[in-house]
A and B are shown apart, each in its own frame.
Chain A
Amino acid sequence: MATSLDQLSDDPTRTVRDEPGGSPRTPSRRRRLYKHVILIVFGFAMLYPLLWMLSSSIKPSDVIFREPSLIPSAFDFSNYTEGWNALARPFHHYLFNSLIIVVASVIGNLLTCSMAAYAFARLQFRGKKWFFAAMLATIMLPIHVVIVPQYILFNELDWINTYYPLIVPKFLATDAFFIFLMVQFIRGLPRELDDAARIDGCGHFRIYARVIMPLCVPALATTAIFTFIWVWNDFYSQLIFLTDPDLYTVPVALRTFVDSQGESAWGPLFAMSIVALGPIFGFFLAGQRYLVRGIATTGIK
């Protein structure tokens, strides 16, 4: 790791130096060109899966595996119309179901994980060390051994075949990943900021809501983006807790296209996989705009 840091190190420094100057000197322009060539080549390796899925989604199902070329010999968009209507409900039904769960999860995680993170990062209380350790421990067990006890619990609560098992936990700060993430961000903020607010007479809730949260926009954006994507793609718990096909979400619905024991609808599967990527990619594009320098990090308070 040390060596790679060494290799890197001249990049950011150089860009910092370039930024204010901005004079179009030739070496810097050529360097910029190289940079873009590297970025684009690298970008193609990243894009390949998407291009491949796109190409497969417009090939007829039966030639997908016989014709490996990235450029389809014929364009056939029927996979989209077919896939959209192949299941018991039109595909937008599943998109909508997923959206309900995802939006609720994002709100829940933003609210409760940030609250817990504030307490862990800024407040002193008895048992803090142990609670923090316990919180981290909850993400160290593989889901497969807790899913059965979880199912039993939710079944006792009569929550099976509802969205409660997928949403309620998010409002109870059960995603330790995001708590820890925000703890790290909050602890990176200068203490002087909240000390100043405290001297102004702010209570803890004021400091949390008015000082810390606005400074944590990048962390909150990260939380929102990841929650959105991970919940959207989370197949396993949605499979187990939802058995009524009317309640199926996108990842579960996509699974029903495939039949390992018979004929699978590959073309429609790829077409709907592309459709399913739309919302998460859109959310990522929108969310990443908030990965910006917060107000207080640019100025001095």
Chain B
Amino acid sequence: MVHIVGKGAARSRRPAVVATAAVTLLFVAACGSDDNGGGGDDEATGDVSIRFAWWGNPERDEITNQAIEAFEAEHPNIDVEGDSIDFDGYFDRLATEVAAGNAPDVITLGGAYPREYGDRGALLDLSEVEEHLPTDNIDEAALSNGFFSGVQYSIPTGVNTYAMVVNPDVFSEAGVPLPDDETWTWDDYVRIAEEISANTPDGTYGAADRTAPDLIDLYSRQNTGDGLYTEDGQIAIAAETAAEWWQLTTDMMESGATPPASITSELAGQPGPEQTLMGQGLAGMQFDWSNQLPALRSASGADLQLMRAPGESHGVASGMWLQASQSYGIYSGSDHPEEAAQLIDFLVNHEEAAQFIKADRGLPANSEVLAAITPELDDDTAAQAEFIAEVEGEVNPDLIIGPEGSTESVGIVQRLNDEVLFGRITPEEAGQRLVDELNAAIS
């Protein structure tokens, strides 16, 4: 009897030991990088190996690998391992790697991610490696996208802007002239969209409903001068402004200017630009990022154009802005921050890299590099470059990137948009819930 009890007790202690071990493991890993971060270094020759991760399609992989080879040729002591995967997979993997202290040395980021990662201590303060990474020729507005809490966390790869894409074929089919984008108002936009829908076959719409944080940001800035967030990481948008936006989109849907709720919602769940209404050639107008133009053009088979957003010349301030299409940061636990900085420098500041990458990650943010590759750009990219050059002087320079938690805004806006369009809540309720839920997300 004693024997059995003794054995039982011994057994019951074992899980406790394992639990402690597991928990310790978490702490060890989370409390900073350990020495196997870089890996594969050859100490005898001073050779260094760094990892560089990005997301994208096979074409991007190919040109990026060519740029990496050019870098390695210039820096024979640095070996670069490139990892690439699709966008969704990329961020799941990255978060896991940072959690384990085993993240890539050079990290590609975009949107509000530099701030999500930077403010949580996962990115290196780039001033520590500034002698390897000059930023003199890089566009100020784009550079500011990686600057938070007084620290430069990331360097923009290129410049991008959120604008209106129009399909001239659809316009002419409907017998509607293209608007003058320097003067048009939101009323013009609504009227044109209605006219196009009315004068084209079923299934073609005046405009796609692309309600997203970017668009609400733009609309709000035009109307009040404030976007979604304040400088110090609070919510700036007023519930009334968001409600106004949703009133506009519901009215458009009801008049047939934009598709019915189920189509808009269906499109929101689709994976790429090819499946959007514009990509299918079924919309006259659609808000999108300027660097989507090539993909949209080839999917729709039409000569799509970029235009300024409606209301730009009538609001309190310009709603449009220039944004880093992507940016590079260095992992705070990197063993080789200097070599990582050299790689970033090569990718954003050197023409050799730009020869391969061209405008794949947005139009180069470095003015000299941009000038050097401009003659070589294809038509689609040149159209994009022309548009950005045109609006550069007039757009709002003070883009404010959302604080920690703001990457959730995409899901929040999409959910509310579905609820409004399906008539489950009123635009007023949606406006209020947007403010409430954004507040909850960033707290």
By a beta-carbon cutoff of 8 Å, the part of chain A in contact with chain B is: 62, 64-66, 86-88, 127, 147-149, 151-153, 155-156, 158, 160, 235, 239-240, 243-245, 252, 255-266, 268
Can you identify 13 A-B contacts, CB atoms within 8 angstroms? A66-B299, A87-B61, A149-B26, A151-B99, A152-B29, A155-B36, A158-B36, A255-B85, A255-B86, A258-B86, A259-B56, A262-B292, A263-B273
Residues of B within 8 A of A149 (CB): 22, 25-26
Give the Cβ gap from B369 to chain A, nearest Cβ, in Å: 20
Complex A-B, nearest 7 residue pairs according to Cβ-Cβ distance, in ascending order: A263-B295, A259-B57, A152-B29, A86-B58, A255-B86, A243-B83, A152-B100
Given A244-B83, A245-B82, A245-B84: A148 in contact with B294 (beta carbons within 8 A): no
**Chain A contacts for B87, CB-based, 8 A:** 259-261
Q: Is the CB of A156 within 8 A of B57?
A: no
Q: How far is the CA of A235 from the CA of B93 in the complex (A)?
A: 12
Is B255 part of the contact surface with A, judged by Cβ < 8 Å?
no
Q: How long is the Cα–Cα vector from A268 to B57 in the complex, in angstroms?
A: 12
Q: Are B291 and A262 in contact (CB under 8 A)?
A: yes
B residues near A (Cβ < 8 Å) are 11, 22, 25-26, 28-29, 36, 51, 53, 55-62, 65, 81-89, 92-93, 95-97, 99-102, 104, 110, 271-275, 279-281, 291-292, 294-295, 298-299, 301
CA distance A259 to B280 in the complex (A): 17
Cβ contact of A240, chosen from B59, B93, B273, cutoff 8 A? B93
Q: Roughly how many angstroms separate A264 CA and B88 CA in the complex, as a whole number?
A: 14
Closest residue to B291 on the A side, CB-wise?
A262
Given the complex, which residues of A lie within 8 Å of B88, measured CB to CB? 260
Chain A residues with CB under 8 Å of B102's CB are 151, 155, 160
A248 to B25, CA, bound (A): 27
Residues of A within 8 A of B58 (CB): 86-88, 256-257, 265, 268
Q: Is the CB of A65 within 8 A of B86?
A: no
Whether A263 pairs with B301 at a CB distance below 8 angstroms is no
**A residues in contact with B281, CB < 8 Å:** 66
- Asked whether A152 and B61 contact (CB < 8 A) given A243-B53, A259-B272, the answer is no
Q: Which residue of B lies closest to A134 (CB)?
A: B15
State how many angstroms separate the Cβ of A214 from the closest Cβ of chain B.
Answer: 35
Given A243-B83, A265-B57, decide whether A156 and B25 contact each other with a Cβ distance below 8 A. yes
Q: Given A64-B274, A65-B280, 14 other A-B contacts at CB below 8 A?
A: A62-B301, A65-B274, A66-B281, A66-B301, A88-B58, A88-B62, A153-B22, A156-B29, A235-B89, A239-B85, A243-B53, A256-B57, A258-B272, A263-B298
A264 touches B272 (CB 8 A): yes
CB neighbours (8 Å) of A245 from chain B are 61, 82-84
Q: B25 contacts A263, CB within 8 Å?
A: no
Assembly CA distance A153 to B100 (angstroms): 9
* Choice from B61, B271, B292 contacting A256 with Cβ under 8 Å: B61
Task: Give the shortest distance, in Å, between B73 (CB) and chain A (any CB).
Answer: 18
Neighbouring A residues of B279 by C-beta, 8 Å: 65
The residue that B86 contacts in the complex, of A127, A151, A152, A259, with Cβ under 8 A, is A259
**Who on chain B is nearest to A254 by CB?**
B86
Chain A residues near B22 (CB-CB < 8 A): 149, 153
Assess A239 versus B57: contact at CB under 8 Å? Given A66-B281, A148-B96: no
Query: Cα distance A239–B89 when bound, in Å?
Result: 7
Closest B-chain residue to A64, C-beta based? B274
Instruction: Using known A-B contacts A152-B26, A245-B84, determine if residue A259 contacts B60 with beta carbons closer than 8 Å.
Output: yes
Q: Which residue, of B56, B61, B85, has the highest number of chain A Cβ atoms within 10 A? A: B85
Point out the residue from A65, A160, A252 that lies within 8 Å of B85, measured CB to CB: A252
Knowing A62-B299, A88-B61, A158-B36, the reply to whether A260 touches B29 (Cβ < 8 A) is: no
Q: Which residues of B contact A259 (CB under 8 A)?
A: 55-57, 60, 86-87, 272
Return the chain A residue nearest B83 by Cβ: A243
Which B residue sits closest to A238, measured CB to CB? B89
Residue pair B301, A151 in contact (C-beta under 8 Å): no
A266 and B26 alpha carbons, distance in the complex (Å): 40
List the B residue with the shortest CB-CB distance to A255.
Answer: B86
Contact A262 B86 (CB under 8 A): no
User: Residues of B contacting A66 with CB < 8 Å?
Assistant: 280-281, 299, 301
- Is the beta-carbon distance between B96 and A240 smaller than 8 angstroms? yes
Q: Is the CB of A264 within 8 A of B57?
A: yes
When the two chains form their complex, are residues A258 and B26 in contact, meaning their CB atoms are under 8 A apart? no
